[in-house]
A = this chain, B = another copy of it.
Amino acid sequence: MIGDRLHELRTERGMSLRALAEQAGVSPTLLSQIERGVTEPSLSTLRRLAGVFGASIASLFEDPAAPAVWISRPGERTTLGAPNGQIRYERLTPGNGQLEVLHAVLAPGEVSSEELWSHPSMECVYVVSGTLTVQVERSSYTVAAGESLTLDSNRPHRYLNDSATNTEIVLAINPPTP
């Protein structure tokens, strides 16, 4: 519920209803109602509130369901295969948030998928060792160990290892695409 989130943000900062109301240019009563779920804010008041908190509207809807701390070790990670590809990714993140980080090792010749793939996210690959080739639409890029590549996943793309040695990568994706 959006009210809970706003209540949390306000109390976190030690603000009173009236203080926040004044800064946001709305009435204290309205805030009270919103926080208790009696009514729902309009986008315009949501904008004002986000402004006071220095946050984006988007962040008001991301549940901060505190997943404490999550450690993943090789061997005890959930793996997921790319659609129609050979790579097996290991998931480094719990998988309930807005951030997904994967780890993979590509054997020589291995590709992430047969066709180019697109999804509405941003992703960033860091090459730990070996050499990675990234195809984006009709271009392809070579990324060596220690280098990284960031791309808009809306553009059809795939990864492949056309070198003779294993390639180890870390892949950060936001938001995750199930």
Q: What's the number of copies of this chain in the assembled complex?
A: 2
A18-26, A37-45, A109-117 - interface stretch: A37-45
Q: Please name the residue on chain B nearest to A93 by beta carbon.
A: B150
Partner of A101, one of B139, B150, B152: B150
Which residues on B sit within 8 Å (CB–CB) of A64? 120, 152, 154
**Overall SS of chain A's interface:** mixed
Residue A55, interface by CB 8 Å: yes
Residue A151 lies at the interface, judged by CB distance under 8 Å to chain B: yes
B151 touches A69 (CB 8 A): yes
Nearest-CB residue, chain B, relative to A144:
B73
In the complex, the answer to whether A67 meets B99 with C-beta atoms within 8 Å is no
